[in-house]
A and B are shown apart, each in its own frame.
Chain A
Amino acid sequence: MLYFEKRDTISARIKIIIPLISILIGILFGALAIVVVGINPYEVYKSLFINAFGSWYAFSETLVASTPLLLITAGLVLVFKMGIWNIGAYGQYIMGAIFSSYFAIFMPPDISKFMMLSLMFFGGALGGAIWAAIPAALKVFWEVNEVITTLLMNYIALYILKFFMYGPWKNPTSYGFPLSKPFPASAQLPVLFNHTRVNLGLFFAVAAIIAIWFIISKTKFGYEVKVIGNNPITAKYAGISVGKNIIIAMIISGALAGIAGMVQVSGIIHFLQVKINANYGYTSIIVAWISYLNPVLCFISSILFGGLESGGYSIQISMRVSYGIVGLIESIALFSIVGSQIFLNYKLRWKK
């Protein structure tokens, strides 16, 4: 029968091959799903690829989707390294968008752009941080499972957003649509490249992932994060304040998701609405995992998955292929990566 035999060393080659094969398996099963509904998968993938990487404009749209993914992933890497399961980036992103929109909607629009954007930036970070600090504190003080609390808070955040959009923040001139009034020019993040939507948010995202890399590999806090991730009990005996570190890491993670929400409303949408692509919060979990929580790989994966999101959105319009295909491909790639972790430490053997 087949059985697993422990490897002596982790092969670096396998470590790189596994994520690549996982994405390939995702694409293959995706193709199978497309064939079932009678569409040619080759055409779908070709169109998806062209819409993601085929031209400078297409690639710029991929970068637009990669920006929030990278921002959120940066924070998730930190908490996941600790073994803390923040599944609440979705809600933290929404709270960031709400808090930052407050300034765009209610501040006098003639205050300086720098002032306005700073308020929105820190407002967004604060909104996300609060939404992450609550489950973190509940976990630390009362051992409340953070997977469930962060998830439930996603739904609560969504309905808070709906409350504002259908109620007090609805623009009276939006013909009944649940939209806020448009943001003034001072509340819009500057565009980095002409004729694209790539904005200053990309700079925040790159800065964030570099900062997280630095924190994890070069600081005492980062060292403690890794020790806690390996074994929280050992960490406690080593004199590390586990609770404090959990709360700090969650606040950083929530703040980055909140900034991602701010970047989306301030840099891309330019008003607040119910659909602000909060699903990036879930996709980022996949990006973080498929990259082994390694910041360099996170950078590459976020561009790859940004392309999948942006290309997937385009084919929904051009080829009428449901956006569900993106979730299918992503989830199967994630299944493959989780299922194949065992091959890092074990070899498959055959025994009679």
Chain B
Amino acid sequence: MSAPQHSAIIISLLSNAIKAGTILLFPTIGEIFAERVGILNLGVEGMMLIGAFFGFIVTHITNNPYIGFAAGVAAGGIAALIHAFISITLRGNQIVSGLALTIFGAGFTTFYGQRWINMNLNTSFQSFPFPILSKIPVIGSILFNQDIIVYLSYILAVLMWFILYKTMIGINIRAVGENAKASNAMGINVYKVRYIWTFFGGLMAGAGGAYLTIGYAPFWLDGITAGRGWIAIALVIFAMWDPLKAVFGAYLFGSINALQFQLQAAGTTIPSAILNMLPYLVTFIAIVASSIIVKAKHIRPPKELGIPYSREEK
């Protein structure tokens, strides 16, 4: 094989890695904000499934991937409101409520997805070279020859980082997750802030799920997210609750996905079970390593993560 062919393969591998990473980037950013306001939502896998499902069927019906994507995003947000109501208003246990949401998402999509199994989409997001930037050698063809949803995710990561660290909204978000009682005293409506960002987390999980079925694997399968929601939750720790660092985590795991796919397509002798295990195994190792680093650097999760807030009790 000649050198240009090699580089073409690597460019297409990395370009796919960005796509696979985008599926994880949205939910990771969403969960970062939910956790930043103190709400642990373990329902990401369920919300992604719901987003993937509605994204798929609405695209199938309307034949318009953008309407489908919007439907998936909205569906994820609505699913998150169940968790928000239970953990914010009813002050229920967030771990159990989140697990319930994951079981709900799986049950819901299995139940209604039955007749869509193995159906395909005829339409997807169109890739287009981003003006000027796509002309950069190598990087241009990897990062800037993508579809609009990927470009959207770039903007989102930077924008959310800016909001979190450079604006008043971000200060309030961090205050609520660190000390809800003091935030309330400062005049912040704790319930409202928690509802908004838990909802945002759901929208983003829905976006990740919808991008999976519309932009990455345009067919419907039972449990199509295959644990990506859990990987996204792990990436939150890996990213140390920072939206910009989430980008690196998401693309790293996107690369593993893409590599796995490429190896399988190339007819490798590595058993497929081992290849399919890789993302979980690597996430496991990464989570252990980053937990040790987090501990050593005295970085910690938002102080009141998972703790319900009640205005009546002083």
Contacts and interface: CB of A to CB of B under 8 A. Distances in A.
Interface of A: 3-6, 33, 36-37, 85, 87, 138, 142-145, 147-149, 151-153, 155-156, 159-160, 162-163, 166-167, 282, 285-286, 289, 322-332, 334-335, 338-342
A168 to B, nearest CB: 10
Contact of A338 (B100, B107, B108, B277): B100
19 contacts: A4-B312, A5-B312, A37-B112, A142-B292, A152-B230, A152-B231, A155-B227, A155-B277, A163-B277, A285-B96, A322-B110, A324-B106, A324-B114, A325-B107, A327-B110, A331-B101, A335-B86, A338-B100, A341-B90
Contacts of B99: 87, 282, 285, 334
Contacts, number: 151
Nearest to A333: B100
Contacts of A338: 86, 90, 92-93, 96-97, 100
Given A142-B288, A144-B287, A152-B230, A341 B92 contact: yes
Nearest to A36: B112
Nearest to A289: B96
A166 B275 CA distance: 13
Contacts of B106: 324, 327
B312 A324 contact: no
Interface in B253-309: 271-274, 276-277, 280-281, 283-284, 287-288, 291-292, 295
Contact of B107 (A151, A155, A328, A342): A328
Interface in B193-238: 227, 230-231, 233-234, 237
B95 interface: yes
B237 A4 contact: no
Contacts of A326: 107
B280 A155 contact: yes
Given A145-B291, A166-B272, A334-B96, A327 B107 contact: yes
B16 interface: no
B292 A159 contact: no
B109 interface: yes
B86 A152 contact: no
B107 A3 contact: no
A166 B284 CA distance: 24
A159 B104 contact: no
B287 A331 contact: no
B85 interface: yes
